[in-house]
Structure 1
Amino acid sequence: MTMTTPPGWYPDPGVPGVERWWDGTAWTAHTRAPGGQAFGPAQPVTPPQPVTVAGPPVRRRGPLVAIGAAAVVLVAAIAGGVVVLGKGDDGAPKTPGGSTGTTAASATNSPPPKASSPPSADPNTLVDQLDGITLPIPDGWEKTDDMVGGLVTMQTKDTYNCPGASGFCPHGRVTTATAASTGLKTAEAVAKNDIGDAANAAYDRDPVGSRHYNGITSHREVKSGQVVVNGRTGYLVRWEVKTGAGPGGYVQSLAFPSTVGSEAMVIARFAFDAGSAGPPLSLMDTITRGIAPIGGGQNGGVGSSLAPPSG
């Protein structure tokens, strides 16, 4: 039986006390502190030994911060162009490739450099750096920090008192994340598998257990089908949900393959309130059509001849 290592955060074999993102085939440039917050791009290193493991949960991302001494060591290593692991038999420092000297050796299976821009400070663009995509931020929306889940997030600027619990609720919200490694191979299967969790996260219980809408009382599917996302064939499932308090809303799970790394599936979740205060449903399709690779342009992959389904 062939054993493979699924995408995920693993201890960096070249930098103690740091985790690096393994995309399923090679190390990427993304690192973080153990269990949480990302440092940002760093030097690629040799991949881990393959193991058989259960699928990890949806990949979370934390805000880009420097964390204590580990961040200082990492930044210094990047600036110097070498990560010192120890000394060789001749007393010279070792590089990640195992050789000695003052320059790092090329890492096995390291990804080629990609022409992409750094995270944009543009208030009209939401950047998902890990999945290599950007999303247009509509008028009246803004980027937000997901302090609990660490997801890449944008939502409406206008909020209101949540009808079922204390706190403030937005009229619309969109998040992106790498899909969990569940063994599902197609965008259709991933979207259909995710929609229930997406609905519960938006209108039943939030990550800390609050029920801002007194839970979901019923749901019905209002739309599903293939759609072009970033030049590739994706799939969406949209539900209308009724809640115990408030007008309810519409939830959509959109799955599509990433154009970077091992092309793992990406999940974009949409949650729009129903009623006159909620965003128009056509905005879901507008945002979907605006998803693009970091750095601009479109990928002409499979599915580029498909037309997005009408709203």
Structure 2
Amino acid sequence: MTTTPAGWYPDPYGSPLLRWWDGTQWTDATHAPGQEAGAPQAPQQAPQQAPLQAPQQTQPQWGPVNQTAQLPMPEFGAPRRTAPVWPWIVGGIATVVVLALVIGGAVIVLRDRAYTANARPDTTATAPQLDQTVPPEQEPQQSAPPLPQLPQPAGDRIKDPVTGLSYAYPGDKWQVPESKDINNPADQRSPLWTSGCTATSQANYDGRGNDWVGSVYTAEVPQIYPYSGSQGLGQLSQTLLLTFDQDFYGIPHDHKILRNEALTVSGKQGWVIEFEMDFTKVAEANGLKWKKEKGAIVLVDRGQNARPAMLYVSVPDNLDQSVLKRVEDSLQSQ
């Protein structure tokens, strides 16, 4: 059984900081992304964690092929929202929902994979009130920059002008979504997806109007994830997988890594990590149309002073899972 080496990783408790993993547990040591920081001088005690708001199912930690446990994961997470919060990618980007379904006496938590799936946990802090002596019309107005429009297929390929990646278009069943439906620029951990397409696996899977979908997306890796060169692609891919597992797959599941190795894409150094999510127990108890989902994260180094490019694919087993291999094998980089 392997473990993740000590180091700075995106905070699994939802803050925009990096938190120190000492090789066995999360510590209290944090620092802002982009700042130089070495190992803490003394071991830190694990932070007190907030109680979960819904019944939890213990899941094995990530590990290499056919093993469990590798990436650091807290035993409990911060409270989850009970309303939609970010798009699902992977198998699905639809609105995050913590949903208690009582079926046959069994209560399960279903979370939608949509636009809001990566939003921060709710906080009890009270927002500051505006000074009523200042007329509202004099308050400075800030508008967010417009989201990039996702490119449509050109022939049998989709080309991402931001990352330089291109890949095979899976076919007419797969449609290019609106950028606003899959991106949340306010979430620093969430990639800003600049190309992609989705296919519906199960409409209204939770009885609340949310869909579970298969997904193909590309983006630059967000700045919050430390990156110092191609030698770190393997660790970066595992960190992203840990984040996506927490944010995108809210239904209780088992999981395993199928492939984890270096590769080249159009002569550039890269890394691929393939995985499988197993929802069989929940699917059989609740009549879901899919039981397992296969996916992959492919990272491509883009040289000095450039963030690595990322391909993210995830396909439930009630869709054509050959899409995963076709998209991976067709990946090119400018």
Instruction: Tell me the TM-score normalized by structure 2.
Output: 0.45
Pick the structure with greater CA Rg.
1
Which structure has the higher relative contact order (CA within 8 Å, separation 6+)?
A: 2
